[in-house]
Structure 1
Amino acid sequence: MAPAPNPNLPLQERVLALVQTLQFAWFAGHVTLLFTTFRYALSWIRMNYYTRMAQFCYRTSFVAAALTYGIVVYKTQRARAKTGAKAPPSALGLLSDENVQYLLLALVWLFSPQYPLALLPYCVYSVFHFATYTRANLIPTISPPKNAADGASAAAKVKTDSPLAAQIGAFVKEYYDASMAVVSGLEILLWFRVLFSAILFQRRSWILIVLYTAFLRARFSQSTHIKNSFAQLGARVDALVGAQGTPPAARQVWDVVKNASRQFVDITDVSKYIGGAGPAKKTS
């Protein structure tokens, strides 16, 4: 995260210096996503989600999501080039970057039929990025503490002295892990929603289920939250099929599903094909 502008400058110059950064464009993308998602939610509640405004907000949300992740991917690659680090050895290596995955998925949703549930994970992420940027950059720029020599010291001092910054920090610390667990559950639920569309042979659903399954498989290898959510789901189904009165056929079907899932996870283990390189973690 770039430091806030020099607190010794006038407010207008501090704000101007802040908005001219690429990081601010990233922040603006998250703000746009939150606003358009909220506006689309109002249309969805009123069952007007195919009006021009609703469709505009829905598509704009994913444009904003693609923008934010695109900026992070660009900055990552630029930093890699400046430090002389080697580029990913293959396309699989590049695709193992979670930011690339979320960027590509945003583009997939952008050009797919509407799936309102797909907006929620991006929206949750944007809430925390909005909060973090506000605490680290906006507050030190608008109301810098006294006796701060530069942007970095102003940001550090604000985090300890500003009541609002302290509240934001407490919010992020308290709710981040729980929110990531919710996101994982939403992403799994979305897979079943897309599968249902594929069973009904809805438009582009079979292409979408393949692409989203690949995304979710990659998330499974990188996210402990996704693994925990799948483990909890498996435990609940085990309890249901293990209850008295459950038909033996249901237990057999569940055993087949579990075995097929394990084989799928093993076959699609990307680390086998990229030399065991660890995946790049998501920063956007």
Structure 2
Amino acid sequence: MTSDGTSASKPKYRGPIMLRRNRKIESSTTDQRLLDQRGSADWLHTDPWRVLRIQSEFVEGFGALAEVPRAVTVFGSARTPEDHPEYEAARQLSAALAAAGYAVITGGGPGVMEAANRGASEAGGFSIGLGIELPFEQGLNEWVDLGINFRYFFARKTMFVKYSQAFVCMPGGFGTLDEMFEALTLVQTRKITRFPIVLFGSEYWGGLVEWIRTSVVNGGKVSPADVELITVTDSVQEVIDVIERSRQEPEIDDGVTGHEDKW
């Protein structure tokens, strides 16, 4: 008997898991379930199996990107048509990044992502696309030199942050906002070393930045210094200058690592 008056049962084990008191226990062994060719394939969709899929995405991503030169990620809307000024701006920006020696990473899709990959490729640079599995299948655009497709957003996000020297956000929707605010949060909380986060297009981004300065800062939710983590510009050359300056600035010894491995 245990101290609370209940009967102590003999523990049973499922690998590292211990089970007592008649909790559900498989009637077969792990080896039986592995070697038996009969039965349902439902186990492929269970959470433990998903962990292996997640692991494989990190392994594939780290392996494919390990030797990529210093790179800049360009985010932006998948809905931007080819004849839009924002498409051409992304194309010119990525050509300038390639000329400055940076690989260009995008989400690999259409719109601004395609324009950025195209600009890098046409300029002789390294054009990388990190795609994502979506219900409305897009596929990687034709200007991607090295492409990886991910099932999981969080694995893909890790690759963007780990292998980028800077983020440049062209006008975009929720996906672009998500990546921008995640990067800001990681830098603000010093989970990663500070690196440039540039919003390209003052007319598009100006209202958001003004709201942060007024409502968010004035409400005491972030400090005025946090807003300085963002650069807003309409100049391709300023983007290059901001990124280059960040490489030349001495690292602050705050216990986190440098840009080559921000984690």
Q: TM-score, normalised by structure 1?
A: 0.27
Q: Which has the higher contact order (CA 8 A, sep 6+)?
A: 1
Whichever structure has more strand as a proportion of its residues is 2
Larger Rg: 2
Whichever structure has more helix as a proportion of its residues is 1
